[in-house]
């Protein structure tokens, strides 16, 4: 299946859209953006110049993915969540794209509704940022982050469920252990 682009959306020349991707109402994909296969961009999504988005990514309504942001495969961006790309913006003194801070969201991470990701950080694979949280530092793999500023309050399974106190997933039963400050699946 080729990409579906709603008639109210605009895809600029030079943008690349993968097979099976759906771009819904009033969205804009700017020149140089690369969007992978089987993605879903909700209503009123803006993808800026030269942004890279992997396969299977879901971006909910009212999200702007600014230049300097990269989303790996299977990232989930909740409704109205916010990316930034400049730590000290001034309308009078624009810095230009060469000075934007990079933000990398690793595969399978979830960014909850209305959270904010301050630029210059990496969100680890399988991490979950709670709705409304404000991320101001790197997020480890599998970390559950909440609050303003966001702090780690737990761990999440590969399937997205919060792990219990023994670091076992109550849904799929996977077991994890902490090793050198990170979480590793324990093979039984």
Cα separation, 177 vs 168, whole angstroms: 9
pLDDT category at 181 given cuts 50, 70, 90 is confident
* Half-sphere CA count of 180, side-chain side, radius 13 A: 0
Give the pLDDT confidence score for residue 5 in this predicted structure: 98
Give the pLDDT confidence score for residue 187 in this predicted structure: 84
Q: Structure tokens of 30?
A: 């700017």
98-140 residue pLDDT tens = 999 999 999 999 999 999 999 999 999 999 999 999 999 999 9
Q: Structure tokens of 85?
A: 């790309």
Q: Quick one: three-class SS letters along the chain? A: CCCEECCCCEECCCCEECCCCEECCCCEECCCCEECCCCEECCCCEECCCCEECCCCEECCCCEECCCEEECCCCEECCCCEECCCCCCCCCCCCCHHHCCCEEECCCCEECCCCEECCCCEECCCCEECCCCEECCCECCCEEEECCCCEEEEEECCCCCECCCCCECCCCCCEEEEECCEEEEECC
Mean pLDDT for the stretch of residues 23-28: 98
Of 90, 1, 89, 6, residue with least CA distance to 41: 6
Give the pLDDT confidence score for residue 179 in this predicted structure: 86
143-172 residue pLDDT tens = 999 999 999 999 999 999 999 999 999 999
The answer on pLDDT for 188 being more than 80 is: no
pTM higher than 0.95 for the full model?
Answer: yes
The mean pLDDT value of the chain amounts to 97
47-74 residue pLDDT tens = 999 999 999 999 999 999 999 999 999 9
């Amino acid at each position: 299946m080729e990409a579906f682009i709603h008639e109210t959306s605009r895809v600029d020349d030079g943008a690349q859209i993968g097979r099976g991707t759906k771009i819904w109402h009033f969205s804009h994909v700017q020149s140089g953006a690369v969007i992978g296969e089987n993605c879903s961009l909700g209503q009123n999504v803006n993808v800026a110049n030269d942004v890279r988005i992997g396969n299977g990514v879901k971006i909910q309504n009212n999200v702007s993915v600014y230049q300097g942001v990269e989303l790996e495969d299977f990232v989930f961006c909740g409704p109205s969540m916010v990316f930034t790309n400049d730590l000290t913006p001034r309308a009078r003194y624009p810095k230009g794209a060469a000075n934007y801070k990079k933000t990398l969201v690793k595969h399978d991470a979830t960014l909850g509704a209305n959270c904010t990701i301050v630029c210059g950080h990496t969100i680890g694979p399988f991490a979950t940022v709670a709705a409304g949280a404000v991320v101001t530092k790197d997020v480890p793999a599998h970390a559950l982050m909440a609050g303003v500023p966001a702090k780690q309050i737990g761990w999440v399974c590969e399937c997205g469920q919060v792990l219990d106190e023994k670091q076992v997933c109550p849904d799929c039963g996977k077991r994890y252990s902490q090793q050198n400050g990170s979480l590793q699946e324990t093979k039984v």
